[in-house]
Amino acid sequence: MFAGEIKELWRYPVKGLRGESLRSTVVDFDGLAGDRLLGLFEPGSDKAVWGGSHPKMMGWEAAWPAQCGCADAVSGEPVLYEPGGAAWGGDESGLPERLAETIDAEKGVELRKVKRDYGRILVVFESSVRRLGERLGREVEASRFRPNVVVDADLEPYAEYGIEPGTAITLGGHEFTLQKPCERCVLPSWDPQGANVRDKELHKFIINELDNHFGIYLRISDPVTIKVGDPIAA
């Protein structure tokens, strides 16, 4: 059906914030190790504070501290970097107040674990990103779609959406299962660096021309390691 290779790996320790580039990572039933484990919530409630309503969140970056030189290690608390570059430990007492101040969260925020039943990884194809840019007449950053895996494959643009859910797709020789295409919210239309600028034309194109999908979700049960340069095939 297609063949290619992994070009980039990304994880996002805090949902809605920018993430970190990896060379390798562990993936299991819970998804990519260290990915989207934490989120921002309104204090005392389960209401999420997310990038669609607070796009300045993407001016912040989160990363897990390096452990023994291993890119996929996850332990302790992540480090958060505010737009000016100042670093905050994930458990620092002043962090919630600073976050709320810089992302215009008037009700404040709490940083805590996200509840979920299982994990998955989001895969985006370079050919589709390029074609999207060609149609819009400007470069479109893959980072807008917050992928875990960016692949270069001999697949026609947007052809990934025609692959049947349940299809086996191998990454690094490990068999993943295609769950479904990723239905998009408004988040990709906001500047991925937190500039608080929205690309409404991009959002309309994805809705009208791509049935509001971009990227595909894959799952696996047993722990495996994948790395940049690994093959992908289906």
Contact between 60 and 82 under an 8 Å Cβ cutoff? The reply is yes
CATH code of the domain containing 179? 2.40.33.20
Contact between 188 and 202 under an 8 Å Cβ cutoff? The reply is yes
Residue 151 identity (one-letter amino acid): V
Question: Are 145 and 228 in the same domain?
Answer: yes
Domain-ending residue, one of 89, 113, 137: 113
Q: Is there a domain that residue 21 lies in?
A: no
Question: Are 103 and 145 in the same domain?
Answer: no
pLDDT surpasses 60 at 210: yes
Cα–Cα distance list, 8 to 50, 52, 190 (Å) = 24, 24, 21
Question: Are 189 and 133 in the same domain?
Answer: yes
pLDDT surpasses 90 at 186: yes
Q: Round to whole Å and give the CA distance between 85 and 59.
A: 10
Question: Are 129 and 60 in the same domain?
Answer: no
Q: Is there a domain that residue 58 lies in?
A: yes
pLDDT tens per residue across span 133-153: 999 999 999 999 999 999 999
pLDDT band of residue 69 (cuts 50, 70, 90) is low
For residue 153, the enclosing domain spans: 3-13+118-233
- Model's pTM, two decimal places? 0.94
Q: Is there a domain that residue 139 lies in?
A: yes
Question: Are 151 and 44 in the same domain?
Answer: no
pLDDT of residue 81: 97
Question: Are 101 and 122 in the same domain?
Answer: no
Q: Is there a domain that residue 42 lies in?
A: yes
Domain-ending residue, one of 49, 81, 113: 113
Question: Are 170 and 71 in the same domain?
Answer: no
Question: Are 73 and 99 in the same domain?
Answer: yes
pLDDT surpasses 90 at 67: no
Q: Is there a domain that residue 24 lies in?
A: no
Q: Is there a domain that residue 22 lies in?
A: no
Residue 128 identity (one-letter amino acid): S
Question: Are 216 and 125 in the same domain?
Answer: yes
Question: Are 91 and 176 in the same domain?
Answer: no
